[in-house]
Amino acid sequence: MIKRAWTYGLAALALCNVACNSGRDTAGSSFETENSIAVLVQLADGTPAARMKVVVRPESYLSGASDMDTDSLLNSQLNFETDEKGRVVLSDFASGAYVIEARSDSLKGFEKISYVASDSTTPLVVNVSEPAKVSGRVGLPKMVRAATVAVQGFDYQVQTDSLGYFEFESLPEGDVDVVAFVHVDTTFVNDHGFSEQIKSTQIYGILSTNVGAKSEDIYVGDSAYIKTYFVLDDFEDGLGQWKAAASMNASVDLDLDSAGLGRKGKAAHFVCNRDSIAEWDWALIGYELGGFVDMSDLDSIVFWARTSEPSRISFAFDVFVNDDSVTSSENTKSWIHYEADTTWTRYVVIPAELDTADSNGGNVGWDAVKDRVTKLSIFGQMGTEVWVDDIEVFGYGIFDPYAPLSRKND
């Protein structure tokens, strides 16, 4: 727990006299003053960026975790604008580490500076360029349905959805720390027998990342959480390792199709056909992992799907010990079922939410398969078409079937 000391001395900083002397133009340094930071904002080609907003924040500042009155004070006193030559002078700063950001609607840039008040003029050049969109997910602990995500040293903050997903529409390029946190109100009885309430900030994760020129996906989690993420398949380059399979009296046709209905690009498409009236007929598409994979640390798998009509789809973690017979009693699974329809829907497969062990389809439960999964499968209901797209894995940088291959002999 971190108490509301997230203000980090901001009130004292805000009381400093931060003056803009950009109109001064003398020989030599042209716009220097004593004990100040002389900022020049320019484009990538060296062209001065005139009338650009300049925002100053302590490097330890965390937007959304400070008291609102302090935030308001900062907003009124530590925001400036460059002159027609892209210059602004910031005077009489207290010693400390700061983030100085320049931004407009279409351009952003920043520099971090460690400033000593006894120094004479400190020159600083801030280059601006096109900002980037950054999205990702926070690994939320159980019972926590949303968090605030902020960029430390800046005034950018967004809220996650109930699954932990967030998106920043526009961040400047460079190395930043992305912080996920929630506010916690704790009530206790003091030494005088009265109830008191403490507002505190609980951090769930800090991720140091480099914001590039293109959109990026990141995963933020506590040190006890895994922080990796990868796209298993978006089907833009074909079907890859996905194969179709069906029971003896059923068949399945798999191909690549346009995602359609509001989604761009390609999607996997399969048709489930029944050749009998047997209730246990099944049809699926599966992704072979190439060996036994330990998924004990899996956070979740996210995928999008739609069907030709309202029907059930299932996601399964399969263990194939006997590859010669898909009906072998040695082959088991852990799975979960979803209701799908003609609208693209985002599904989140979380290990703790998988079906408990039962006799249905060889389901032995997550604990029995999690450390030796050989295949991921998506089942469709007989007589329907299924489209699948953008399958993402949270908790791994890539699935490695080689390290745990010895489990085959366990």
The DSSP 8-state label assigned to residue 175 in this structure reads E
User: How does pLDDT run across 297-356, given as a tens digit for each residue?
Assistant: 888 898 999 999 999 999 999 998 755 444 445 689 999 999 999 999 989 899 999 999
Determine the 3-state secondary structure of 118 from DSSP. coil
Q: How far is CA 238 from the centre of its chain?
A: 26
Report CA-CA distances (Å) from 91 to 76, 83, 130, 264, 297. Answer: 16, 16, 29, 51, 51
**Are 2-127 and 132-227 in the same CATH fold?**
yes
CATH top class, domain 2-127:
mainly beta
How far is 98 from 182, CA to CA, in rounded Å? 24
CATH top class, domain 233-409:
mainly beta
Structure-model confidence comparison of residues 345 and 13, the more confident one: 345
How far is 130 from 154, CA to CA, in rounded Å? 17
- In which element (H, E) is residue 74 found? helix 68-77
User: How does pLDDT run across 119-133, given as a tens digit for each residue?
Assistant: 666 789 999 999 988
- DSSP per residue, 55-94: EEEETT--TTSS-HHHHHHHHHHSEEE--TTSEEEEESPP
CATH of domain 132-227: 2.60.40.10
How far is 292 from 297, CA to CA, in rounded Å? 14
The answer, as to whether pTM is greater than 0.75, is no
> Which backbone phi and psi does 372 adopt, to 5 degrees?
-155, 40
How far is 326 from 284, CA to CA, in rounded Å? 12
The answer, yes or no, to whether residue 264 has pLDDT greater than 80, is: yes
Report yes or no: 50 and 82 within 8 Å, Cβ to Cβ.
yes
How far is 238 from 381, CA to CA, in rounded Å? 23
As beta bridge partners, residue 388 has 268, 305
The DSSP 8-state label assigned to residue 186 in this structure reads E
* % of the chain beyond a pLDDT of 70: 75
Q: Where are the domains of the chain?
A: 2-127, 132-227, 233-409
